[in-house]
Copies of this chain bind each other. A is one copy, B any other.
Amino acid sequence: MIAAEIFEPIDHESVVDTVVGKVETMIVDGVLKDGARLPSEREMADAFGVSRPKLREALQTLEARGLVHVRHGDGTYIAKLTGRAMSPAMLALYSRHGEAFYDYLEYRREQEAFATRLAAQRATAADKERLSAIREELEAAWLGQDAEAESEADFRLHHAVVDASHNTTLIHMMASVYDLTRRGIFYNHDLLRSIDDSGRKLLDQHIEIIESVLSADPVRAEEAARDHMDYVEESIRRGRELQRREQRARMRFKTGV
């Protein structure tokens, strides 16, 4: 006999939710771009196969989330989302769409490699001092088993490397990207720790990044950044897989089989 508890409440998506999700996905995927004018409500409702009132409800939700802008008598427009960097609306959007995660990692892999290479080429004495200080923070946090401090130092390191690249566009873009990270939306430090519980490998990779920049070796720097992001991606994949398996195992345990 199977315990009833394993049948958790289903979340039945309403028509409105479905439409909202679809439009959001189209924005995330880049199908609907900044400032684009959407077809009329009547046309869209017809295309989606839903009634106009329901489509309007969906548009209202999207407007409340800052993703579209509805103008009476004129039309509906996709909001300016990537104007300066990533807007808060875009950040929240990414957090609701996990599929975009690996796209994000792919993007970050290239950006980190680029930033680290530039840093190795351009880091000033002040940049190098800052990196050295962060290196000590990282090691102290690791020795002290202080996960919070470790996470914070990790964040500061990536930030310092980007600053050392001395490319203002890159700095602005990455600032908003790191905001995603800091919110724990993507880069989940606890998840990483659960895989590589010593944290030693992460520390070694961070140190390699710092040393490659300090030694002004752009090739080595780029490689260090790529290796680090590859490891992060692989760890997260494994962590998610592990979580999925444990979830199933718990459910099997409940069944008493």
From 29 to 71 in chain A, residues with beta carbon under 8 angstroms from any chain B beta carbon are: 29-33, 36-39, 43-44, 46-50
Complex formed: what's the CA distance from A37 to B255 in Å?
10
Complex formed: what's the CA distance from A46 to B6 in Å?
12
With both beta carbons as reference points, the residue of chain B lying nearest to A15 in the complex is identified as B12
State whether B1 touches A31 (Cβ < 8 A).
no
A242 on the B face (CB < 8 A) = no
State whether A19 touches B30 (Cβ < 8 A).
no
Q: Which residues of B contact A255 (CB under 8 A)?
A: 31-33, 36
From 188 to 211 in chain A, residues with beta carbon under 8 angstroms from any chain B beta carbon are: none
State whether B39 touches A10 (Cβ < 8 A).
no
Q: Which residues of B contact A4 (CB under 8 A)?
A: 39, 43-44, 46-47
Q: Which residues of B contact A44 (CB under 8 A)?
A: 4, 7
Contact of A48 among B1, B9, B32, B252 (CB under 8 A): B9
Given contacts A10-B19, A18-B10, A255-B31, contact A37 B1 (CB under 8 A): yes
Contact of A12 among B7, B18, B36, B257 (CB under 8 A): B18
State whether B49 touches A9 (Cβ < 8 A).
yes
With both beta carbons as reference points, the residue of chain B lying nearest to A78 in the complex is identified as B2
Q: Which residues of B contact A97 (CB under 8 A)?
A: none
Complex formed: what's the CA distance from A15 to B15 in Å?
12
With both beta carbons as reference points, the residue of chain B lying nearest to A1 in the complex is identified as B37
A3 on the B face (CB < 8 A) = yes
Given contacts A13-B12, A15-B10, A18-B10, contact A2 B50 (CB under 8 A): no
Q: How far is the CB of A252 from chain B (nearest CB, A)?
A: 6
Contact of A36 among B2, B29, B31, B48 (CB under 8 A): B2
Q: A10-B15, A12-B13 are in contact. List 16 more A-B contacts (CB 8 A).
A: A1-B36, A1-B39, A2-B32, A2-B37, A2-B38, A4-B46, A4-B47, A7-B44, A8-B48, A10-B19, A10-B22, A12-B18, A12-B50, A31-B248, A31-B251, A31-B255
A positions within 8 Å CB-CB of B? 1-10, 12-15, 18-19, 22, 26, 29-33, 36-39, 43-44, 46-50, 248, 251-252, 255, 257
The 8 closest A-B pairs by CB, nearest first: A9-B49, A7-B47, A4-B39, A4-B43, A4-B47, A31-B251, A10-B18, A12-B15
